[in-house]
Amino acid sequence: MKILIVGGNGGIGQAMVKQIQVAYPAATLHATYRQNRPTDMQGVVNWHPLDVTSEVEIKQLSEQLTELDWIINCIGILHTQDKGPEKNLQSVDIDFLQHNISLNMLPSVMLAKHFSHALKQSVSARFIVISAKVGSISDNRLGGWYSYRASKAALNMFLKTLSIEWQRTMKHCVVLALHPGTTDTPLSKPFQQSVPKDKLFTPQYVANCLLPIIANATPAQTGSFLAYDGALLPW
């Protein structure tokens, strides 16, 4: 099996890389990082530097990795050093909103576009993206967090649309949006105070939950939005 983890240096991404090495020791594992290549990994990981905002770089990587079974995109942002999720409309900053879209949605579009050929060969193909429940439109009761919510909702719509096209052209490929639950990573750090202890997961726990969901997914499930516990989430 050939697997690509995009954002293998992030909290959840790194845990996925480690868990795949344990669960699938015979797999050929590729992973990308932005600047800092993780050094504490045991086993063989083929690391590739990748700027996920560059279509040129994504295309170049797709020309190197021409056969894959699973692609799992773990890239995402919620805050930057000086900007965070908005409490109200007046706090919305267009540059920050665009930055959210450029990292939470556009990389998945470019990955699907350029790696569809690599997945086409596989009989157990998966195109998986770590989304977020706050991107669900029908589940939105609290409001706020405009940029993150809108970028994840756009991601979700992209994945649903992609799953419909690929049902026609790549029948074997399962497209899923996954919600990891609140996970103890740099992304959630500033927002963990109000999270009950038993609802703040370790990245290892999340990787343990998500991997069987990915492995056992069937083509009938393509275009689904699933939580870490396997629950079906509303778009």
Ligand X SMILES: NC(=O)c1ccc[n+]([C@@H]2O[C@H](COP(=O)([O-])OP(=O)(O)OC[C@H]3O[C@@H](n4cnc5c(N)ncnc54)[C@H](OP(=O)(O)O)[C@@H]3O)[C@@H](O)[C@H]2O)c1
Q: Site residues (CB under 6 A) for ligand X?
A: 7, 9-13, 34-35, 52, 74-77, 103, 130, 132, 180, 182-183, 185-188
Q: How many CB atoms lie within 10 A of CB 58?
A: 23
Residue number closest to ligand X, CB atom: 76
In the bound state with ligand X, the residue whose beta carbon lies nearer, of 25 and 230, is 230
Shortest distance (Å) from residue 130 CB to ligand X: 4
Name the residue nearer to ligand X (CB basis): 101 or 172: 101
The nearest distance, CB 169 to ligand X, in angstroms, is: 26
Comparison of 105 and 170: residue with beta carbon closer to ligand X: 105
Contact 62, 115 (CB under 8 A): yes
CB of 38 to ligand X, least distance (A): 10
Shortest approach of ligand X to residue 202 CB, angstroms?
11
Of the pair 163, 188, the CB lying nearest ligand X is at 188
